[in-house]
Amino acid sequence: MDIGIADKIITFIRDNKVSSTEVADCLGKTGAIKGAKPLNKGMHRVGLVQYVYAHSDTNWPIHEQIRFIPEGRVIFVDDINGGRRALFGELVSSFLVIERKAQAIVTEGLMRDIAELLEGRFPIWCGGITPEGCYNTRREENPEVKMIARTNKERYQDAIAVCDDCGVVVIPKDEITDEMYRKLVRIEEQEKVWFHCVRDLGWDTFDTVCLKKYEDK
């Protein structure tokens, strides 16, 4: 991955508040982490992904893995073979957001301490809530856990995540290219044209989106 291109894409998305919807369109309408929903509304976050995982109802690996993670990342927390317990709550979220300057916390797993996370406006996208938490005990990783963690780390680590009210979309590492940057620029321009045609010119959406009659002008 070219870090210069990644920074260029991240900066463009952040400065223009490019939505997860638009990013998904640039990826051929793919890329969503479907189980992750915004806990707090009105947030827009983007950054490189840091992959972290828990497994088998223990969050010991999370505590271990987040000790030395780089600042400014979107933390993607994978819940491998979990039994629908909360991965963590306010304490770990505070450490990640305040001490490690995390852009966002993303997981398809569950969270707890929700009153505090809502009051503190934590940038969290998760799969749901529960008061029942994981155990913080060390457990051996079986071959299946190791395989899933290895596969998913290769998929998500150093990708780009875009998080907003619609959800989370991940730009894979092999899509972090100049061409992706150009797609993002084009889709921002296209959105402006479409809304101009519908709102200002009074066109219907068929003429605008399907027939693209503005190209004839």
How many angstroms separate the CA atoms of 21 and 103, rounded? 19
Per-residue pLDDT of the chain (217 residues; tens, 9 = 90+): 678 999 999 999 999 999 999 999 999 999 999 999 999 999 999 999 999 999 999 999 999 999 999 999 999 999 999 979 999 999 999 999 999 999 999 999 999 999 999 999 999 999 999 999 999 999 999 999 999 999 999 999 999 999 999 999 999 999 999 999 999 999 999 999 999 999 999 999 999 999 999 988 6
> To which residue do tokens 């916390």 refer?
105
Q: What is the pLDDT of residue 60?
A: 98
Q: What are phi and psi of 90, to 5 degrees?
A: -65, -40
**Strand pairing of 74-80 and 104-107?**
parallel
Q: What is the pLDDT of residue 77?
A: 99
Q: What is the CATH number of domain 3-173?
A: 3.50.30.40
87 is in an annotated binding site: no
Q: What is the pLDDT of residue 216?
A: 84
89 is in an annotated binding site: yes
How many angstroms separate the CA atoms of 160 and 74, rounded? 8
Q: What is the pLDDT of residue 147?
A: 98
- Coil, helix or strand for 53? strand
Q: What is the pLDDT of residue 2?
A: 79
Q: What are the sequence ranges of the domains in the chain?
A: 3-173, 179-216
With b meaning 16 or more CB within 10 Å and e meaning fewer, what string describes 134-163?
beeeeeebeeebeebbeeebeebbbbbbbb
Q: What is the pLDDT of residue 188?
A: 96
CB 31 within 8 A of CB 206: no
How many angstroms separate the CA atoms of 1 and 172, rounded? 10
Reference 119, options 93, 99, 96, 101; nearest CA is 93
112 is in an annotated binding site: yes
Task: List alpha helices for the chain, DSSP H.
Answer: 3-16, 20-26, 60-65, 90-94, 114-119, 143-156, 178-195, 205
Residue 163 parent element (H or E): strand 160-164
Q: What is the pLDDT of residue 90?
A: 98
